[in-house]
Amino acid sequence: MTLLGLTSIPGLVVATILEAAGYTPSKVINKITGIDLNGIKIGAKPALEARSSELGSILSNYDVCCLCEVWTQDSRDRILNDLDSRMWESAAGPDESGAFILNSSGLFFLAKNRQIVKTERMIYSDRGSKNRDTDAWSNKGAMLNIIDLGFGQFELFQTHLCFGGGIKDNVPVSTPGISDPTDEDRMNVWHAELAELADFYRSHHQPQNVAIITGDFNMNGTNVREYAEIRRVMDSLGLWDLWAWDVYDHHPSEGLTCRFTDGDESNWIRNFDTQCDYLPGPQDQQYCDDRTFIPAPKTKPPQGVGRYDFLFAQNPTSAHQYNLEVSRILRRPFPRAHPSDGESYLSDHLGLDVTLYLSPR
């Protein structure tokens, strides 16, 4: 196995004998610890099929959607079922092909009444470690879709970066070699992935087009070090964090985009009450009150809760064929009309809802 780290050990002879006798490492570990390494099970998220079936009608109100965590063809089909195939085009990100890969990139792009003229895909080469990070079992990466505007082409890059961890939580007892990533481990992976994202952007971006980059970066805008790293890369590409534009009096450390749903299900938070002051209005049009300064919560949000979802827009340049203007980003919770399996919302994340205005120069 070239994938594997080979340790130099004095017991190699024992190992060779055991292997020849038909004892796999999993069997030995299972015998000693009772842990079945062949079957670490990670449960499906609640109301999976119902929620994916409900998404299509919600998304039909949009013109362009950049989605993360649409992992399977079944979920994509359920979404598309409620979208008029004469109006909508779609593109999925990198699939689940490859050795020891269980999941696709989860990236999914939808465009209404706009032709997707080009799609490019990329898988991050560093997705963490398979004994540590569930992300390493997926093909997380980035996707570019270019849509035609008539007077130019608009580039929409989307990504979902590694978060790390998830293996140790599902192993019943402490096991050598199975650990959670440290902050440093995570930063190293993000550093590599952001560099690859930047390379992907530079490889495909055309100067006459305006570009945006969006998605779940799994890096927390409320963490100074993580946000500074994102901005270091995005600033170098000439891309601007629209949430943090000072005309809105927002702050990078505010505007959390998800609730806590890690680990033991009994500890999950089932609503967005601590992330979102709901604006008055009908439930199916629910938005967060994102007008201005949002006081930081007195207690620090747990790991796994933060501002992970971003929308960066390229700064205007003289080479652009057209202008891009944007409305204020509103975070949107998407409550379900008929909650099931304890899920009152379509996702554990808030959507970033914005209107884009593209005008020829």
Q: Which of 68, 144, 197, 276 binds another protein (CB under 8 A)?
A: 68
Q: Smallest distance, Å, CB 204 to another protein?
A: 19
Q: Does 34 bind another protein (CB under 8 A)?
A: no
Q: Does 192 bind another protein (CB under 8 A)?
A: no
Instruction: Please give the residues from 112 up to 131 whose contact with another protein meets the rule CB under 8 A.
Output: 114, 129-131
Q: Which of 296, 302, 341, 342 binds another protein (CB under 8 A)?
A: 296
Rounded to whole angstroms, the Cα distance separating 321 from 338 reads: 45
Q: Which of 150, 172, 207, 302 binds another protein (CB under 8 A)?
A: 150
Is the Cβ–Cβ distance between 159 and 107 less than 8 Å? Answer: yes
Closer residue to another protein in complex, CB, 26/283: 26
Q: Does 256 bind another protein (CB under 8 A)?
A: no
Q: Which of 93, 105, 122, 160 binds another protein (CB under 8 A)?
A: 160
Rounded to whole angstroms, the Cα distance separating 138 from 217 reads: 15
Q: Smallest distance, Å, CB 5 to another protein?
A: 4
Q: Does 177 bind another protein (CB under 8 A)?
A: yes
Rounded to whole angstroms, the Cα distance separating 254 from 316 reads: 26
Tally Cβ neighbours within 10 Å of residue 295.
6
Query: What b/e sequence results for 256-272 when a residue is b if at least 16 CB atoms lie within 10 Å of its CB, and e otherwise?
Result: bbbbbbbeeeeeebeeb
Write phi, then psi, for 85 (nearest 5 degrees).
-65, -15
Rounded to whole angstroms, the Cα distance separating 299 from 238 reads: 35
Q: Does 4 bind another protein (CB under 8 A)?
A: yes
Which of these ranges, 81-89, 173-181, 188-196, 197-205, lies near another protein under the rule CB under 8 A?
Answer: 173-181
Which of these ranges, 85-93, 181-189, 198-206, 225-233, lies near another protein under the rule CB under 8 A?
Answer: 225-233
Q: Smallest distance, Å, CB 15 to another protein?
A: 4
Q: Which of 240, 276, 301, 306 binds another protein (CB under 8 A)?
A: 240
Q: Which of 161, 256, 305, 324 binds another protein (CB under 8 A)?
A: 324
Q: Does 109 bind another protein (CB under 8 A)?
A: no
Which of these ranges, 189-197, 200-208, 244-252, 263-271, lies near another protein under the rule CB under 8 A?
Answer: 244-252
Residues 6+ apart with CB under 8 A from 285: none
Question: What are the contacts of 45-49 at 24+ separation with CB within 8 A?
Answer: 45/261, 45/348, 46/340, 46/341, 46/342, 46/343, 47/336, 47/339, 47/340, 47/341, 47/342, 47/343, 48/75, 49/74, 49/78
Q: Does 80 bind another protein (CB under 8 A)?
A: no
Closer residue to another protein in complex, CB, 82/245: 245
| 29 alpha carbon, distance to own chain's centre | 33
Give residue for tokens 């062949």.
38
Q: Sign of the C-alpha dihedral, residues 290, 224, 189, 242?
A: positive
Which residues partner with 322 through β-bridges? 360
Q: Which of 87, 117, 195, 224 binds another protein (CB under 8 A)?
A: 224
Tally Cβ neighbours within 10 Å of residue 99.
6
Q: Which of 263, 316, 335, 339 binds another protein (CB under 8 A)?
A: 316
Q: Does 11 bind another protein (CB under 8 A)?
A: yes
> Which H or E run includes 52?
helix 48-59
Q: Does 151 bind another protein (CB under 8 A)?
A: yes
Q: Does 69 bind another protein (CB under 8 A)?
A: yes
Rounded to whole angstroms, the Cα distance separating 153 from 145 reads: 10
Q: Does 142 bind another protein (CB under 8 A)?
A: no
Q: Does 184 bind another protein (CB under 8 A)?
A: no
Rounded to whole angstroms, the Cα distance separating 287 from 281 reads: 8
Q: Smallest distance, Å, CB 86 to another protein?
A: 19
Q: Smallest distance, Å, CB 130 to another protein?
A: 4
